[in-house]
């Protein structure tokens, strides 16, 4: 894969993030109109910066350090990137109006236990973790993959605690 194609791939993932934000904002408005409460506001700006840094860091590392594309690694990582996108959108579809990039819970809403939530409590974060490793490694940006993974692990400990507290009162649907 050429560097140009890699930059296009990262740009497409960035556009996918914009699409997520559109869905998230629409769902937040829906939730707040029904008495939704937001939790964990403090970590959200950090999450936005970290996820933006993943995209920028991957491109900068590849360009600045002239990272090579290694076909065996690159194509395998691309498959994981595509799989993580599919899992993410399955989560979004399954949660419907309850999906959000923020932690917003509508009192009395049922806790979703269908789709990928049958097997994992937080499958969207599986997608985030896989993508955070795989996207940079498509073009051997291993420093970005490593730094994102470490920082994201710390952030997810905070995020998961906030989310679990917010979801504690929901009954499985």
Query: Residues 76-133: pLDDT tens digits?
Result: 999 999 999 999 999 999 999 999 999 999 988 888 889 999 998 899 999 999 999 9
What CATH number has the domain spanning 3-172?
Answer: 1.20.120.1630
> Which pTM does this prediction carry?
0.90
3-class state of residue 22 by DSSP:
helix
Whole-number Å distance between alpha carbons of 21 and 56 = 18
Of 36, 44, 30, 43, the residue nearest 169 (C-alpha): 36
Q: Where are the domains of the chain?
A: 3-172
Q: Provide the pLDDT confidence category of residue 19 given band limits of 50, 70 and 90.
A: very high
Question: Which residues on neighbouring strands pair with residue 171, listed in sequence order?
Answer: 110
């Amino acid at each position: 894969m050429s560097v140009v194609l890699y930059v296009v791939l990262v740009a497409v993932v960035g556009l996918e993030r914009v699409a997520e934000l559109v869905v998230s904002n629409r769902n937040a408005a829906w939730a707040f109109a029904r008495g939704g409460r937001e939790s964990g506001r403090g970590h959200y700006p950090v999450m936005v910066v970290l996820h933006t840094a993943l995209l920028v860091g991957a491109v900068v590392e590849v360009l600045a350090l002239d990272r090579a594309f290694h076909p065996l690694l690159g194509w395998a990582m691309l498959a994981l990137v595509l799989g993580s996108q599919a899992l993410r959108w399955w989560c979004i579809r399954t949660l419907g109006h309850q999906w959000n990039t923020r932690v917003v819970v509508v009192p009395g809403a049922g806790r979703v236990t269908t789709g990928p939530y049958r097997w994992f409590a937080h499958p969207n974060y599986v997608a985030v973790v896989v993508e955070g490793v795989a996207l940079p490694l498509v073009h051997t940006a291993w420093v970005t993959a490593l730094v994102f993974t470490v920082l994201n692990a710390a952030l997810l400990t905070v995020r998961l605690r906030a989310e679990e507290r917010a979801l504690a009162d929901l009954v499985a649907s």
